[in-house]
Amino acid sequence: MTRGLGSLSRVMILGFVRDRTAMFFTILFPLMFLVLFGGLFKDSGLSKSEVLQIGPVAMFDQMPAADRADIGQIVTLIKVDDREKALDQVRKGDYAAAVEQQGGNVVLHYAAADVVRSGIVRGLLESMVQTSNLAAAGVSTPAFTLDAEPVEDRSLKTIQYVTPGILGWAIAVGATFGAAMTLVTWRQKKILRRLRLSPVPTSSIVGARVAVSLLVALVQMALFVGIASLPYFGLKLSNYWWMAIPLVVSATLAFMSIGLLAGSWAKSPEAASAIANLIVLPMAFLSGSFFPLDNAPGWLKNVSEVFPLKHLNEALLGVMVRGEGPGSAMPAIGILLGFAIVVGTIASFLFRWDDV
Amino acid sequence: MTLAIAVAGLHKSYGEVHAVDGATFEVQQGEFFGILGPNGAGKTTTLEILEGLREADSGEVSVLGSSPWPRKPELMKRIGVQLQASSFFERLTAREQIRLFASLYGIGPARADELLDLVGMTEKAHTRTEKLSGGQAQRLSIACALVHDPDLVFLDEPTSGLDPQARRNLWDLLRDINGQGHTVVLTTHHLDEAEILCDRVAIMDHGKILALGPPATLVRGLEAPTRISIESGSVSEVDAQALADPDLEVTDDGISLTIATRTPAKVLAALAERNAMRGLSVRGATLEDVFLSLTGREFRE
Ligand SMILES: Nc1ncnc2c1ncn2[C@@H]1O[C@H](COP(=O)(O)OP(=O)(O)OP(=O)(O)O)[C@@H](O)[C@H]1O
Ligand SMILES: [Mg+2]
């Protein structure tokens, strides 16, 4: 069942590497976007050195002026009264943290994703609480304790947000176009017909294409994550980043099924490329590859649910930068594989060996 | 002798077009068989059915003892096919191309290189197939069809686009292959080629086989006249008419005077007597005349 698998994979890789257009659009072009977004808005994630103080907080209010100046070098305290609004602002990443006093507890609300900044704020508050406790007449039972509590995090640094989205888009382009173009040009150039005249089974042809597409996707992932992790861009991968591998694999299969559908339907490479573009580009926009969909209207968010890229992007963001556990990616993997099976089956019904 | 191919009552239509309309023929193992016919005669369609690329509408087909439809990988190992339009993987060199085809049949690269040499393409081994000339691509495509030493070879117009030298080289190659016991089936527009190469030919038109047999037998069966040409003005037209058979014409296009006759020896002797042999050429009947007499049309419209 695997006769010719190796040699066919080899010629596909050769064909891809020697195809400058394909290399450009699957590797270089998305990489340019990554560098552009990651570099251009590099510092936009850092303007959050301010901490909101919600209502009265004894520890701050009773602070001597000298101490206040000391702290001012690290954080700016802004007094506000609207608790909900304050928490929301932290959530959006506009401020590093919010502090409030609940009885004897000082509660710190911070965004977990901005590890560096929340760490600073936390360390600072913790030491302040210690000091205050000691200052409170040296009693053994502390007057105040600090409860650190992360709020739901939408305050990712730009590169953290951009990398999964652009990577998802690049994988979508690579897998969709790879499958569509191979199918159409091989059919048009009578290569499929020629292969049918050899003892090579269909499974080897399909298998070689899948293997090469997976390889391309994993190379894209290594390249994008590698570049985003350079100190200049500063991507920090979280513990379960490796869950991105099964995600990328199942997404590649889903995108390939789109490509096979386009390639089975289209009669010429130009038509196949147009159809693939018509699907991939809107999909990338509606899946939040270039900018978050948070502010999009609800119906648009609902529409975006049909796109495999949307599920890939969200799950990648979760496991690569938000530090979500491996289990969080499972629903997305299920959806992607289901999509691949359904669309792949439809494509197999439309499949033709020959133009006529 | 065993049969390499047996076809009976083959039909294949594309909508209204009867591409193959009741073809019946057999090819012996080791035979060199030609299918001749003008454009659209149904040659390629017939080959495609034999190769297992298309299903016949009706009729019996047996290739090397089994039915080619549905496709059987085991049968594919025993046949070699050169398609009418060459089909190469994109962005590969000639050598990568033939080595790939060899590997699909489990054949090593050494044999692939050997065949590249056999068709005179070693010089172009490192050229991308997109950059080969039409004739070079044709030669590579034939080499790819032969790389696994198939028992039965199908060649669809193998010499189209080749220069006279390459054509002759290919004829030698095909004769060698056939000499080694491989069965060869080719289609061609060149009647001379069929006469030179083929043990037997089938003349096909509008999907039907009009005549079947060794070229010499077909030509002889025709009892067509021989055409003797000499330089215009060597003899008067009246003289020439007297030499020719009464029912056959004499033509003079201002360059050559052509006399058609069924008794060439008598005419040649008479011309020699008159010392009117300048620019002499004698052309016997060919398959072209066979086609003309079968269809009432010139082979090339
Ligand atoms: N796939 C197809 N769909 C529809 N009609 C076809 C198809 N292939 C061939 N035909 C028609 O069938 C007839 C026979 O075609 P075929 O290709 O067998 O001719 P051929 O003898 O090989 O001609 P040529 O010498 O030009 O190669 C033609 O009238 C052609 O138009
Ligand atoms: Mg043909």
In testing the pocket of ligand 1, which one of B11, B16, B18, B44 has its CB within 8 Å of the most ligand atoms? B44
Residue A61 lies in a domain: yes
Last residue of a domain, one of A101, A136, A171: A136
CA–CA gap between residue B74 and residue A199 (Å, rounded): 7
Q: Which ligand is nearest to the CA of B37?
A: 1
Q: Would residue A107 count as lying in a domain?
A: yes
Inter-chain residue contact B100 with A185, CB threshold 8 Å: no
Number of Cβ pairs closer than 8 Å across A and B?
A: 68
Same domain assignment for residues A172 and A117: no
Q: How many CA atoms lie within 13 A of B124 on its CB side?
A: 23
Top-confidence residue, A140 or B23: B23
**Which atom of ligand 1 has the smallest separation from the CA of B84?**
27
A177 and A303 inside one domain: yes
User: Residue A152: pLDDT above 50?
Assistant: no
On whether any CB of chain A is under 8 Å from the CB of B48, the answer is: no
Atom of ligand 1 lying closest to residue B45 CA: 18
Let me know whether A34 and A82 are in one domain.
no
pLDDT band at residue A128 using 50, 70 and 90 as cut-offs: confident
Domains of chain B: 3-214 (3.40.50.300), 225-284 (3.30.70)
B99-121 tens-digit pLDDT: 999 999 999 999 999 999 988 89
Q: Are residues A25 and A57 in the same domain?
A: no
From chain A, pick out residues whose CB is under 8 angstroms from the CB of B83.
190, 193-194, 197
Indicate whether A110 and A226 sit together in one domain.
no
Same domain, A21 and A123: no
A147 lies in some domain? no
User: Based on the number of CB atoms within 10 Å of its own CB, is B277 exposed (0-12), middle (13-18) or buried (19 or more)?
Assistant: middle
pLDDT value at residue B98: 95
Same domain, A169 and A241: yes
Q: What is the CATH number of the domain that holds A57?
A: 3.40.190.10
* CA B157 to ligand 1: nearest atom: 27
The full 3-state SS of B23-46, as one line of letters, equals EEEEEECCCEEEEECCCCCCHHHH
pLDDT for residue A45:
45
Evaluate whether residue A89 is within a structural domain. Answer: yes
Q: What is the ipTM of this complex?
A: 0.81
Same domain, A278 and A327: yes
**Does residue A150 lie in a domain region?**
no
**Chain A CB within 8 Å of residue B282 CB:** no
What pLDDT was estimated at residue A291? 82
The answer to whether residue A209 scores a pLDDT higher than 90 is: yes
Reported as a single tens digit per residue, the pLDDT across A225-253 is 999 998 888 888 888 999 999 999 999 99
Å from CA of B45 to ligand 1 middle? 6
How many domains is chain A partitioned into structurally?
2
* Whether A344 and A229 share a structural domain: yes
Give this prediction's pTM: 0.76
Does A146 map to a domain?
no
CB contact under 8 A, B76 and A197: yes
**Of A10-19, A63-72, A151-160, A287-296, which range is least confident?**
A151-160
**pLDDT given for residue B275 in this prediction:** 82
Of B52, B53, B92, the CB nearest to A14: B92
pLDDT at A181: 92
Residue with CA closest to ligand 1 atom 17: B44
Q: Give yes or no: residues A66 and A114 share one domain.
A: yes
Confidence of residue B155 (pLDDT cuts 50, 70, 90): very high
Domain of residue A208, residue span = 2-42+157-350
Question: How big is the CA angle at A288 (ends A171 and A30), to the nearest 5 degrees?
Answer: 40
Domain C-terminal end among A79, A106, A136: A136
Question: Phi, psi at residue A110, to the nearest 5°?
Answer: -140, 165
Same structural domain for residues A188 and A58?
no
Measure B100 CA to nearest chain A CA, in Å. Answer: 6
- Is A293 inside a domain boundary? yes
| B91/A189 CB distance under 8 A | no
A27 and A71 co-located in one domain:
no
Instruction: Decide: B68 and B220 in contact? Cβ < 8 Å.
Output: no
Q: Nearest CA to B112 among B164, B159, B147, B73?
A: B147
- Cβ contact, residue pair B87, A196, below 8 Å: no
Contacts of B111 (CB under 8 A, 6+ apart): B102, B147
Give the tens place of pLDDT for each residue, A61-120.
877 777 776 666 667 788 888 888 888 888 877 787 888 888 878 888 877 666 666 666
A47 band by pLDDT with thresholds 50, 70 and 90: very low
Least confident range of A27-41, A101-115, A276-290, B34-48: A101-115
**Strands across the sheet with B17-28, in order?**
B17-28, B3-14, B58-63
Q: In chain A, whose CA is at the least distance from the CA of B99?
A: A7
Residue A303 lies in a domain: yes
Segment B61-66 mean pLDDT: 93
